[in-house]
């Protein structure tokens, strides 16, 4: 296990280094000058422009800029936002709970519906329920998030008026941010506890569905494939021969073994959900790291873009490492 962890950490360190190079270099190929965006073309005198560029460290060669960037990151300094003048780490931590709450809700939605749908499709293999579930899963996987989000808004918010269009909480509620998770903070509020909680839940429904649809489709398909493999095993036939009901055979004997690869996929899906937050949060005006990153690209806020990408990449790398470790613990065959 120690050898495995050391090898994984070595590979992941190289991956993180590659991400840092990409995050640093790609934004600099995007058209637009961050100094001119801050000063405005009319207010950008040559002297002021040169001073601002020097203050931002953009007058140095790219190699020197990258070296300074990496050195600061190794010391825990991800820079200061050019626009807000706030530390990137502080801004990230302020917005991350909103993204995490949305991601957890979306993944919960995907698991609650994806696993039962996959089991049901496997039980009725090559029959109408199987074709229907897998067809819907394929459609769900193929739908772009930005289009699906707009469709949900049009149906449930505009036409039916059942859910809010954007944001996390209506302006009528004044909730103190204790944990950053709106569902928890509303319950901790001494006033308007339940009305505020229901309002926060309504704001969360559509973006969670939009973000969780693709993971739901992936989990359903993986559960079906895994269950089909398990169903053909000898111990499953033995359980049927003993006269056990179909529910007991599937739930007790089959599901436990079928969930091993599904758990791996769920962990990987969490990483994709974090990255998918960029589009979802923009559509629903959700104040998380996705919307924050989009605004930073528009403003050419180099420190925020670089730091944000590294934070997201770091989370995904850690999640993948934990999944690999958990998979070895769960599956003894991988220990050889």
- The answer to whether residue 223 scores a pLDDT higher than 80 is yes
Q: Cα(336)–Cα(324) distance, rounded to whole angstroms?
A: 14
pLDDT number for residue 231: 80
Tell me, yes or no, whether 15 lies in a domain.
Answer: no
Whether residue 159 sits in one domain with residue 41: no
pLDDT number for residue 91: 92
pLDDT number for residue 1: 65
CATH number (domain holding residue 152): 1.10.3720.10
Whether residue 284 sits in one domain with residue 236: yes
Give the range among 44-53, 117-126, 158-167, 303-312 with minimum mean pLDDT.
Answer: 44-53
Whether residue 299 sits in one domain with residue 223: yes
Tell me, yes or no, whether 252 lies in a domain.
Answer: yes
- Contact (CB, 8 A) for 323 and 268: yes
Kindly state the greatest CA–CA separation across the chain. 87
pLDDT digits (tens, 9 = 90+) for 41-96: 665 677 777 887 787 777 788 888 888 888 888 888 888 888 888 999 999 999 99
Mean of pLDDT values over 306-310: 87
Whether residue 228 sits in one domain with residue 134: yes
* SS3 letters across the chain: CHHHHHHHHHHHHHHHHHHHHHHHHHHHHCCCCHHHHHHCCCCCCHHHHHHHHHHCCCCCCHHHHHHHHHHHHHCCCCCECCCCCCEHHHHHHHHHHHHHHHHHHHHHHHHHHHHHHHHHHHHCCCCHHHHHHHHHHHHHHHCCHHHHHHHHHHHHHHHCCCCCCCCCCCCCCCCCCCCCCHHHHHHHCCCCHHHHHHHHHHHHHHHHHHHHHHHHHHHHHHHHHHHHHHHCCHHHHHHHHCCCCHHHHHHHHHHHHHHHHHHHHHHHHHHHHHHHHHHHHHHCCCCCHHHHHHHHHHHCCHHHHHHHHHHHHHHHHHHHHHHHHHHHHHCHHHHC
Cα of 325 vs its chain's centroid, Å: 21
Tell me, yes or no, whether 325 lies in a domain.
Answer: yes
Indicate the angle between helix axes 88-123 and 193-231, nearest 10 degrees. Answer: 50
Whether residue 135 sits in one domain with residue 274: yes
pLDDT number for residue 145: 86
Q: How confident is the model at residue 135 (pLDDT cuts 50, 70, 90)?
A: very high
Tell me, yes or no, whether 82 lies in a domain.
Answer: no
Phi, psi dihedral angles at 24 (to 5 degrees) = -75, -40
Q: Please state the domain count of the chain.
A: 2
Q: Cα(255)–Cα(82) distance, rounded to whole angstroms?
A: 52
Number of C-beta neighbours around residue 42 at 10 A: 6
Mean of pLDDT values over 220-237: 84
pLDDT number for residue 77: 85
Whether residue 97 sits in one domain with residue 67: no
| Domain carrying residue 313 | 88-335
pLDDT number for residue 332: 56
Q: Cα(308)–Cα(93) distance, rounded to whole angstroms?
A: 10
Q: Cα(56)–Cα(82) distance, rounded to whole angstroms?
A: 8
Q: How confident is the model at residue 250 (pLDDT cuts 50, 70, 90)?
A: confident
From 77, 105, 133, give the residue that closes a domain: 77
Whether residue 49 sits in one domain with residue 109: no
Whether residue 69 sits in one domain with residue 203: no
From 77, 110, 145, give the residue that closes a domain: 77
Name 158's Cβ contacts closer than 8 Å, sequence gap at least 6.
165
Task: List Cβ<8 Å contacts ≥24 apart for 277-280.
Answer: 277/99, 277/102, 277/103, 277/211, 279/145, 279/146, 279/149, 280/102, 280/145, 280/149, 280/207, 280/210, 280/211
Whether residue 264 sits in one domain with residue 129: yes
Q: Cα(280)–Cα(269) distance, rounded to whole angstroms?
A: 15
Whether residue 61 sits in one domain with residue 132: no
Mean of pLDDT values over 150-172: 91
Tell me, yes or no, whether 297 lies in a domain.
Answer: yes
- The answer to whether residue 151 scores a pLDDT higher than 90 is yes
pLDDT number for residue 331: 59
Whether residue 294 sits in one domain with residue 217: yes
Tell me, yes or no, whether 22 lies in a domain.
Answer: no
- The answer to whether residue 102 scores a pLDDT higher than 70 is yes
Q: How confident is the model at residue 28 (pLDDT cuts 50, 70, 90)?
A: confident
Distances (CA, A) of 333 to 3, 17, 20, 235: 17, 32, 35, 19
pLDDT cut 90: percent of the chain above it: 28
pLDDT number for residue 44: 63
pLDDT number for residue 12: 78
| pLDDT top residue among 333 and 303 | 303
């Amino acid at each position: 296990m120690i050898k495995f962890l050391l090898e994984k950490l070595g590979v992941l360190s190289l991956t993180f280094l590659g991400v840092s190079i990409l995050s640093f270099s790609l934004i600099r190929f995007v058209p637009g000058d961050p100094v001119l965006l801050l000063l405005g073309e009319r207010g950008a005198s040559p002297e002021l422009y040169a001073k601002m560029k020097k203050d931002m460290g953009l007058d140095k060669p790219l190699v020197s800029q990258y070296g300074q960037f990496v050195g600061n990151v190794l010391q825990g300094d991800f820079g200061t936002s050019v626009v807000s003048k706030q530390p990137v780490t502080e801004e990230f931590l302020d917005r991350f709970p909103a993204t995490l709450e949305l991601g957890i809700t979306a993944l919960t939605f995907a698991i609650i519906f994806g696993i039962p749908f996959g089991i049901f499709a496997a039980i009725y293999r090559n029959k109408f329920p199987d074709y229907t579930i897998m067809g819907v899963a394929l459609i769900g996987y193929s739908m772009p998030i930005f289009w699906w989000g707009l469709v949900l808004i049009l149906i449930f918010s505009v036409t039916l008026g059942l859910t809010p269009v954007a944001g996390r909480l209506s302006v009528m509620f004044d909730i103190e941010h204790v944990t950053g998770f709106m569902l928890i903070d509303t319950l901790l509020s001494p006033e308007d506890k339940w009305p505020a909680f229901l309002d926060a839940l309504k704001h969360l429904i559509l973006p969670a569905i939009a973000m969780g649809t693709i993971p739901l489709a992936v989990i359903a398909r993986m559960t079906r494939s895994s269950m089909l493999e398990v169903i053909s095993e000898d111990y499953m036939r033995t359980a049927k021969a003993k006269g056990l009901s179909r529910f007991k055979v599937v739930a007790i004997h089959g599901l436990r073994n079928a969930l091993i690869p599904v758990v791996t996929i769920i962990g990987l899906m969490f990483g994709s959900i974090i990255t998918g937050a960029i589009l979802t949060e923009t559509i629903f005006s959700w104040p998380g790291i996705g919307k924050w990153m989009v605004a930073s690209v528009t403003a050419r806020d180099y420190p925020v873009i670089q730091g944000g990408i590294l934070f997201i990449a770091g989370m995904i790398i850690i999640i993948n490492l934990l999944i690999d470790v958990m998979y070895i613990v769960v599956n003894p065959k991988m220990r050889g």
